[in-house]
Amino acid sequence: MASVGEHLAWCSLLLVISLGISDSASQCPRRLDCTLRRRHPCPTGSPDCGRCLPHYREDQERKCVLAGQHSQQGEWTLCHLIYLVVTKQKPEA
């Protein structure tokens, strides 16, 4: 039969694991990840990125695409998006 100390050790371990899982699940994505999704950074306390960046709108799949374009036409390469972020330029329509 297990002692009280062993039970406490197991309960403590389970508590630490459950807190770690819930904490990581509620964390906001990195700022760069939000930018690559064409979204503003997470609002305070939110586990998700913010609304679409200016000149983008949310399509039916909840992706941010250029306003006035379909999602297939609004796709950008990762290198192009990083270049736009670094140089603070707006994508051309």
Residue 51 located in a structural domain: yes
Q: What is the C-alpha R_g of the chain?
A: 21
In 3D space, the residue among 23, 64, 71 whose CA is nearest the CA of residue 47 turns out to be 23
Residue 93 located in a structural domain: no
What are the tens digits of pLDDT across the range 38-66?
Answer: 999 998 888 999 999 999 999 999 999 99
Residue 77 located in a structural domain: yes
Distance, CA of 30 to CA of 48 (rounded, Å): 10
Higher pLDDT, 73 or 61: 61
Domain count, the chain: 1
Confidence of residue 22 (pLDDT cuts 50, 70, 90): very low
pTM (two decimals): 0.47
Distance, CA of 32 to CA of 87 (rounded, Å): 14
- pLDDT attached to residue 59: 92
Collapsing DSSP to helix, strand or coil, 57 comes out as: strand
Residue 92 located in a structural domain: no
Range of the domain at 23: 4-87
Average pLDDT over residues 66-70: 73
Distance, CA of 77 to CA of 70 (rounded, Å): 16
Residue 26 located in a structural domain: yes
* Residue partners of 35: CB distance under 8 A and separation at least 6: 41, 53, 81, 85
